[in-house]
Structure 1
Amino acid sequence: MKNKLGKILGLAIIIIILLALLIGKNEKVLFNNKENRDEGIASEEIEEDYNNKNEENISEVVNDINTIEIVATGDILIHKEILETQYNSETDEYDFNNNFKYIKKYLEKADLAIGNLETTLSGIENYGFSGYPSFNSPDSLADAMKSAGYDIVANMNNHCLDRDVNGYYRTRKTLVDRGFDVIGTRESIDDKRYIIKDVKGINVGVISYGYTMTVEDGNFGVNGISIPYDLLQLMNYYHPDTLENDMLNMKEQIELMREDGAEVIVFYMHWGDEYELEPNDIQKQIAQFLADEKVDIIFGTHPHSLQPIDMIQSSDGSSDTAVVYSMGNFLSSQRTERIGNPYTEDGAIVSVKVNKDMETNEITVDIPTYIPTWVNWYGKDAKLFYEVVPATIDDADYLTEEGRERIKESFDRTTSVIENYDEAIEVNKFIDTDN
C-alpha cells in the first residue's frame, strides 16, 4: 500500500512540475520581458503587439523590390565576308553560332535582350544571299541569334526592303516563327505598333522607329527604295519633312501603351548620321520629345559607330530618360583594314536595370551600364572569321598578340565616346569578371 501511495505521489509531483513548466512557457509568450511584467501590460496588448510585428514582417515581404535587366545591342550586319566564312561547302549550310559565342552569356542572363537585324531573311530561291549594299542572309542567322539569347528583334531600318515587299514579309515571318517578338514593322494594319511583355511582374512596352528618306519618285523610301503606300502604313517611321507629325504619332503610341498597362516604355530608334560620333539635331530633338513624354529608355542604332550615353531630364524637371544615342556595330566586317575607320569595329552591350516596388508599384530606372565589344577576326582554313568579343579582356587565348593590342585600343575608343556626356555612366559595372 505504501509503495502504491508513493507511486501516486511521485506521479502527482511530476504532473505539478510539468504544469509549472507549461505555465512558465506561456508566461514567456504573453510577457516576454521583465518590463512588460512590471508595467502590468495586459496579455491582449502583448498579443496585439505580436500580431503587429507579424504584419510588419509580412509587409517587408510584400515590399520587395523586383528588378529586371534589359540589354540591347547595335547593328547586326552580315557582309559578304561573313557570309563566305560561315558557309560550309560540305553540308551546304550556314552556321553563325560562333559569331556570338563569346558574348552569349551576357545576352542569356538578361531578362530581355533586344537587337537590330540590319539584313533581310528573304530566302535563297529567288534572291540569293548577299551583303552590302543589298542584304539578304540565311535563316540560320535567326537561329544563331535565338541561341545567343535575343528575345526581341528590331527590323525597321534602312535595309528592311533590300529584297522588296516579299522579303519584308518573309523576314518578319521567319523571325516570328522562331519565337522572336518583332518591333518596328507589322504584319497587318490591325496589329499594334508595339509589344508589351510581362517580365517578372513588370509590364514593359517596347516600340521601334526608323528613319525614311525621299527617293527619286518623291515617295518615302529606305536605302533608295520607294516604299509602297500600303506597306508604309505597316512601318513605324519618321521623316525630316514630317517630323512634327511623326512625333505626335509616337506620343499617341506612348499613350496607347500606357492604356494597355505598360509600366516601363522602351524606344528602339534607327536614326542619326553614319560614322558620326555625336548625335545630330534630329536625334536630340526626338530624344528630348520622348523624355518630355516620360519614356524610360531610348536605345539607338544606325551610325555604325558608338555615340554617347546620357540621362536627359524632362522639360518640367520631373523625370529622367536614359538615352543611348548609338550602340555602334555589333557584328559586321567593317574594320580599319576595309574602310579605314577603327570606330566601326567597336560596339556595346548596354544594360539598364528596372526596379519595381511590389507594394507601391513605383518604378525606378537605373543609370545604364555597358560592356564594350569588339569584332575580332582571325584566319583559319583559308577563311577569315569574325567574332564579337568583350573588349575588356586582353589576355584571352583566342586573341593574337595583335588582337590583344587592338582590343585595348577599342576599349579606350569606346569609353572616350560613350562616357563623353554624363559622368555618372560607368563602364563594366555589370560584368561578371569571374566568368
Structure 2
Amino acid sequence: MKEMKDKTKLVVSILVVMIFLLGFYNADPLKSVFDSLFSKDQQVKEEILLINDNKKEEENKDIPEPIEEVEKINTVEIVATGDILIHQEILDTQYDDSTGEYDFTNNFQYIKDILENADLAIGNLETTFSGTEYWGYAGYPSFNTPDSLVDAMKWTGYDVIANMNNHALDRDVYGYERTRNILLDRGFDVIGTRGSVDEKRYIIKNINDINIGIISYGYTMTTEDYFKGLNGIAIPDELIPLMNHFHPLTLDEDLNNMKEQIALMREDGAEVIIFYMHWGDEYELEPNDIQRTIAQFLTDEKVDVIFGTHPHSIQPIDILTSSDGTSNTAVVYSMGNFLSSQRTERIENPYTEDGVIVSVNISKNMDTNEVTVDIPTYIPTWVNWYGKDDKLFYEIVPATVNDAEYLTNEGKTRVVESLNRTKSIIEMYNDSIKIKE
C-alpha cells in the first residue's frame, strides 16, 4: 500500500515539474531562447543540405551529357537527258554574223540551273565534232557540229557524255576520234566508245564517297552490204572492239558481254550501276520487245538504273523487279529529244518537241554502307521555237512553267500541251513516277 502511494507521489511530482517548465517556456524570454536554438539548428541543417546540393551539381557538370548518335547519310543526285541533235535549222540559227562564230549557250540557258545543281549530269550526243576540214558543218542526216557546242554543254553543267549511237560514225574514223578527243579535252567523261582496247568500257565516278559505275551501249544495224553498221556506214574493223554495241542477231552474246562488264564494275568497287542504252524504234511511244528483253536481263543482273535514248519521243518510266524478287531496277525507256528542230511544223509530230530531265537520288548510310536508290522523278522539257528581230530561236524550257516572260502567247499554250503529253506517257506504266517538285 505504501509502495503504491510512493509511486503516485512520484507521478504527481513529475507532472508538476513538466507543468512548471511549460509555464516558463511559454513566457516570452524563455520561449525566444528555445526558438532561437531550434531555428539555428534548422538553419544549419538547411545550409548543409544546400552545400550538398551544390556539390552534386558541380559533380554532375563534370559528367558529359550522353550524345545522341545520328546516322551519317551521304547523297548524290544524278540527272540525265535525251537526244541532243543539231539539225541544220539550229546550226543556221546559232551562227552569229557579227562575230563569224557559233554560240549554242542560249539553247540551254533556261535549264542550266537544273543540270548545274545536280551532282552528276549525263547527256546523249548525236553529232560529231569533226572540224571544218572534213566535209564542213552539217545537220541531218550526217551530223557535224562546231566545237562551241562542247563549250555550251560544259557551261550548262554536263559531266558525262554518251556518244555510242547511230551518228557516232557520221564522219567516219576521223570524226569518231576527233569527237572523243574534243570531249575529253574539255573535261568530259565519255561512255560508249573507247580510244583503245586498253581502256575500260565503263567509268567509275566517286561522288560523296559513293562509287557509281556507268556504261553505255548502242544498237547496230545490218544491210545487204555489211553486218554491223551505223547510219548507213559499216563499222570499220578497227572500231568494232572499241564500241559498246548490240545487235538483234547477236543479242545473247551481247547480253553476256554486258553481264561481264557488270561483274567488272563491281570488282572495281561500284556500289550503284547505271546503263545508258541507245535503243528502240524511232517515234514510237512504247518500248519494243528488244528493249523489254534487255531491260529485264539487266534487272536480273541487279543494275540499278537504265536511261534510254534514240526514239526521239518520250517513252514510259517503269520499275522492274528481278526474277528472284530481291531487287528493283528503274527503267527510263526513252527520254525523248532534248534539243532538236523536229517539230510539228516540220514533221507533223508534236511528240518530238518533248523531252525529260530524269533525276535519281542515291543515298548511302556511311555507318552500315547500305546504298539506296530512290524512285526517279522527272522534269518535263519542251523546245521553244520562236522568231524575234528577224531571227529564229530554239530554247529548251521546263514544261512546268507556262507563264514565263520568254514564252509567246502561242508558246504558253503549246508548253501546256507538251506537259500533258509527257505526263500521260511517262506515268503510263507506273503511277509512282512523279514530276520533280
Q: Shorter-chain TM-score: what band?
A: 0.7 to 0.9
Structure 1 residue runs of 5 or longer lacking an equivalent are: 1-15, 31-46, 431-435
User: Match of 1:102, as an amino acid?
Assistant: Y
3-state SS of the aligned residue for 1:213? coil
For the residues of structure 2 that align with 1:219 and 1:291, how far apart are their CA atoms? Answer: 29
Distance 1:28 1:163 in 2: 78
Aligned to 1:390: 398
The 2-side partners of 1:126 and 1:229 are apart by 21
CA distance in 2, matches of 1:243, 1:370: 30
Alignment correspondent of 2:55:
23
Select which of 207, 227, 237 maps to 1:229: 237
| Equivalence map 1:70-219=2 (5 Å) | 70-219=78-227
Aligned to 1:282: 290
Aligned partners of 1:71 and 1:110 also within 8 Å: yes
Is 267-276 or 227-236 further displaced after alignment? Answer: 227-236
Shift of 1:259: 0.2
Partner of 2:216: helix, strand, or coil? Answer: strand
Provide the rounded CA distance (Å) in 1 between the counterparts of 2:224 and 2:144.
24
Matched to 1:26, the amino acid is E
How far is 1:90 from its partner? 1.9
> 1:415-430 counterparts in 2 under 5 A?
415-427=423-435, 429-430=436-437
What is the aligned-residue identity percentage? 69
What residue is the counterpart of 1:412 in the other structure? 420
Q: Counterpart amino acid of 1:283?
A: Q
1:300 maps onto 2:328 in alignment: no
C-alpha displacement at 1:218, in angstroms?
A: 2.5
Q: Is the 8 A contact 2:222 2:228 kept in 1?
A: yes
1:381 matched to 2:389: yes
1:323 aligns with 2:331: yes
Q: Is the 8 A contact 1:215 1:225 kept in 2?
A: no
Query: In 1, Cα distance between the equivalents of 2:254 and 2:57?
Result: 73
Alignment RMSD: 1.7
- What is the identity, as a one-letter code, of the residue corresponding to 1:400? T
Separation of aligned partners in 2, 1:127 and 1:66? 48
The offset of 1:66, in angstroms, is 1.2
In the alignment, structure 2 segments of 5+ residues that lack a partner are 1-47
8 Å CA contact 2:300, 2:323 repeated in 1: yes
Describe the superposition over 1:356-408 as per-residue Cα deviations: whole angstroms up to 9, x where unpaired.
11111111111110000000011123221100000011111111111111001
Preserved CA contact (<8 Å) 2:384 2:394: yes
**Structure 1 residue aligned with 2:369:** 361
The answer on whether the counterparts of 1:157 and 1:211 sit within 8 Å (CA) in structure 2 is yes
Distance in 1 separating the partners of 2:319 and 2:371: 17
Q: Which runs of 4+ in 1 moved over 4 A?
A: 16-22
Post-superposition CA distance 1:301-321 (Å, at most 9, x none): 000000000000000000000
Write the distance in 2 (CA, Å) between the matches of 1:362 and 1:124. 50
C-alpha separation in 2, matches of 1:400 and 1:201: 45
Kindly state the Cα deviation for residue 20 of structure 1 after the two structures are TM-superposed: 6.7
Amino acid at match of 1:356: K
Shift, 1:89, TM fit: 1.8
Report the count of equivalent residues: 390
Aligned-partner residue type, residue 277 of structure 1: L
Aligned letter for 1:334? Q
Q: What SS does the aligned partner of 1:124 have?
A: coil
The residue number in structure 2 matching 1:344 is: 352
1:249 partnered with 2:281: no
Q: What displacement does 1:189 show?
A: 0.5
| Residue 133 (structure 1) shift | 0.3
Q: Name the SS of the counterpart of 1:129 in structure 2.
A: coil
Structure showing greater radius of gyration is: 2
Aligned amino acid, residue 24 of structure 1: K
Structure 1 residues 333-363: Cα deviation after superposition (integer angstroms, max 9, x where no partner): 0000000000000000000101111111111
Cα distance between partner residues in 1 of 2:225 and 2:134: 26
The CA deviation string for residues 209-256 of structure 1, in whole angstroms up to 9 with x for no partner, is: 000011332231000100011101000000000000000000000000
C-alpha separation in 2, matches of 1:144 and 1:17: 77
Which of 267, 272, 278 is 1:270 aligned to?
278
Please state whether the residue corresponding to 1:251 is helix, strand or coil: helix
What is the one-letter code of the residue matched to 2:235?
I
Give the CA deviation at 1:19.
8.2
Match of 1:38 in 2: none
Q: Is the 8 A contact 2:134 2:171 kept in 1?
A: no
Q: What are the superposed Cα offsets for residues 406-427 of structure 1, whole Å, 9 maximum, x if unpaired?
A: 0010000000000000011112
Deviations 1:173-193 (A, max 9, x none): 000000000000001110000
Retained in 2: the 8 A contact 1:212–1:221?
Answer: yes
Quote the Cα distance in structure 1 between the aligned partners of 2:301 and 2:260.
10
CA displacement at 1:21 relative to structure 2: 8.0
Counterpart amino acid of residue 322 in structure 2: S
Listed one character per residue, the Cα deviations across residues 265-284 of structure 1 (whole Å, up to 9, x for unaligned) are 00000000000000000000
Post-superposition shift, 1:28?
3.0
SS in 2 for 1:214: coil
Alpha-carbon distance in 1 for matches of 2:230, 2:50:
89
